[in-house]
A and B are shown apart, each in its own frame.
Chain A
């Protein structure tokens, strides 16, 4: 082979992606071809499209030296050329052979991708070869029919491309696309005007009563309506949609390797940091710049900020896939498991279209599967039990997803037993876990359910799914900077609520300061920011608590947690409130600096890892800022046994903070 050794091997991914597109489009055209019997011009369009797909497949297969694919595509193309040139008629046998050939082509390419042996092609080649030169039962296409669509109005549109228009995204491609939406383009050709400028002339057919100029939406075209052809109410020979479809078959979907998006995201991340650095430098030179000049600089800085954010959001959107991908496997799992357990379960899916970062989808698949399995095997009662409790024999599991701002909520709910707190507590004690005394709230119960070692052996077999216990579910949610909550009512059901940030790489954070150190905390996990007086802090055993909404809120002082000297001398504390119920807690800092866009760099190195810190970021002034991990911080407070919090009346009797 004359090509450059392995030079083009680096393009295999492009090859696979593009082949897939052509094969999909070809499958689509084959269906159109099948439906086009009796519509010669539709058949013609489908044949033309197929010809082009196979032609391109042949060319790119040749480039990557996938000889069988090239050969097969060549045969398919050859047959279509013969059909096109009237050398033979498209028969049912021919259309079957095209379908078989396309399928085999796909197998070859997939096999090459999987590095497995390629399927043989000799039989298909022979089959196609035998077709060329045969005239079959289908009537030959006559060119006269193609003109039958020419009813309605005829327009001539001229477009003169310029560099400026092209820079603004207005080019011949867009013009053609827009015109194709308005009517049927019967001719598109370039022309040279007398002054040597190049223009494109489109002949367009539209239905009566359509005003092309009005529909162009600002694209600069010279439009002339031709006198309508002699009014003959010719019935449309075939639906225009079929005739006008050829280009619609080319998919507008691009497949992108996730690694490339990661790379883009990383670049944007770097830009965010550079931008912050620039802002920092700007603030230092501000005093040297005349005010009039400064305003321009400032305006540009703001504009670039906004564009950067738009860029970041744009890339994030590209990474988003519908959460339905997680849901799709569930109906089958539920059906099988319900049958195995003698349950009757109806699965409801909601919000499948909710979009979430591809990275999160992949990681949430098993945890959600686990929750659903749990719901079937432990949540829903057997039919007789349900009937005895006055419930319909068929239980319902609802799997739903919803997006709220930068967060996505995934919920797995069942209308079964509900979590029995007493049973959980007993089981936890048996498992040797430390159990807080007194009544527990949902967050505490969930804490026990998710403790490593809570699940008994019988559960970690098949029912819970390859040993992915609740502890693993929780760990995964936390790893993704999410939170999990439990809502349950005895006899009525259970609901697990998982909240996740839509994306991980860049996030909005609130920046707090303790002494000379800054800390960032993801904004999505902060419920509220409050300010309290030092004097209001009470000591309860080893915890410091502050009054908060008629209850008490345990707080952690970052100064103590990280051994940084606090420099706050105002007698007031600034507290980030995180979490709900008994998992609610406050993080106290000297002052709150503001809100920033931060680029999350995870601290993967075990030697550097610190509990309560999920990563680090650079605010642009060169200093590294630690990103706090709310989930772990919450656990740090929960590890200490907690009594029931005092009510308002008891508040005054607690000792004021010793100082």
Chain B
């Protein structure tokens, strides 16, 4: 079972992300509504992929990204940054901070699902145990 961590301060968006990814086989979802909670979840569970919002109250998604990438353990953890239309300026910043994939809200469920599927597959192939 692979764990996907969904980070967004909007419960509606979290629910939509979850619904979009529901069809992917053998994944479990963990949710966090703030950046700090996201890092806490990372600390206590094995997470295979993060879907990350940028604009959050306590800790900006970019800071979450930077923190995660600074930790050698999470160097290759796939992170899908999901941010709102109109914030495209942050795309470059997110890329630099270590986002694997960048999508904007509104997102099409099948496009998000495909992106996540691709990243999970790639991670499995890259893993020596696969």
Contacts and interface: CB of A to CB of B under 8 A. Distances in A.
B58 A4 contact: no
A548 to B, nearest CB: 58
A63 interface: yes
Interface stretch (B42-50, B92-100, B118-126): B42-50
B13 A63 contact: yes
Given A14-B11, A55-B84, A189-B59, A173 B109 contact: no
B58 A60 contact: no
B85 A62 contact: yes
B37 A163 contact: no
Contacts of B111: 2
B43 A198 contact: yes
A221 to B, nearest CB: 14
Nearest to A58: B84
A172 B37 contact: yes
A166 interface: yes
A70 B13 CA distance: 14
B13 A59 contact: yes
B105 A18 contact: no
A161 B84 contact: no
Interface string A229-273: 000000000000000001100000000000000000000000000
A7 interface: yes
Contact of B58 (A11, A62, A188, A196): A188
A3 interface: yes
B84 A190 contact: no
Nearest to B35: A190
A74 B107 CA distance: 17
Contacts of B15: 11, 14
B110 interface: yes
A74 B86 contact: yes
B103 to A, nearest CB: 10
Nearest to B82: A59
Contacts of A62: 84-85, 105-106
A78 B39 CA distance: 29
A3 B36 contact: no
B11 A18 contact: yes
A173 B44 CA distance: 14
A192 interface: yes
B10 interface: yes
Contacts of B33: 173
B9 A56 contact: yes
A14 B14 CA distance: 11
A173 B34 contact: yes
Contacts of B9: 52, 56
B22 to A, nearest CB: 11
A55 to B, nearest CB: 5
Nearest to A7: B109
A14 B19 CA distance: 13
Contacts of B127: none
Contacts of B34: 173
Given A4-B108, A59-B10, A62-B105, A11 B84 contact: no
Contacts of A7: 19-20, 109
Nearest to B42: A198
A161 B13 contact: no
A302 B86 CA distance: 57
B26 interface: no
A180 B34 CA distance: 16
A176 interface: yes
A171 B41 CA distance: 9
Given A176-B36, A176-B58, A188-B59, A63 B106 contact: yes
Contacts of B19: 7, 10-11
B108 A163 contact: no
A298 interface: no
A356 B53 CA distance: 40
Given A56-B9, A162-B44, A197-B43, A190 B85 contact: no
B108 A3 contact: yes
Interface in A497-548: none
A200 B41 CA distance: 12
A200 B57 CA distance: 16
Nearest to B64: A190
B20 to A, nearest CB: 8
A3 B16 CA distance: 12
B3 interface: no
Interface string A42-68: 000000000010011011101101000
A65 B107 CA distance: 11
Contacts of A650: none
A246 B105 CA distance: 26
A60 B13 contact: yes
B42 A63 contact: no
A1 interface: yes
Interface string A148-174: 000000000000011100100001110
B117 interface: no
Contact of B16 (A11, A166, A200): A11
A2 B67 CA distance: 32
Nearest to B10: A56
A63 B57 contact: no
A15 interface: yes
A605 B25 CA distance: 44
A11 B107 CA distance: 14
B40 A166 contact: yes
A198 B38 CA distance: 12
A148 B111 CA distance: 49
B129 interface: no
Given A60-B13, A65-B106, 16 more contacts: A7-B19, A11-B12, A14-B11, A56-B9, A56-B10, A59-B10, A59-B53, A60-B12, A63-B105, A172-B40, A173-B36, A173-B37, A189-B59, A190-B67, A192-B71, A246-B57
19 contacts: A1-B106, A3-B106, A3-B108, A4-B20, A7-B19, A7-B20, A8-B16, A11-B12, A52-B55, A56-B10, A58-B85, A62-B85, A62-B106, A63-B13, A172-B36, A176-B58, A188-B36, A190-B39, A246-B57
Q: For the complex of A and B, list the 8 residue pairs with the smallest distance between their C-beta atoms, beginning with the closest.
A: A198-B43, A62-B106, A59-B84, A14-B12, A163-B44, A4-B109, A161-B40, A172-B40
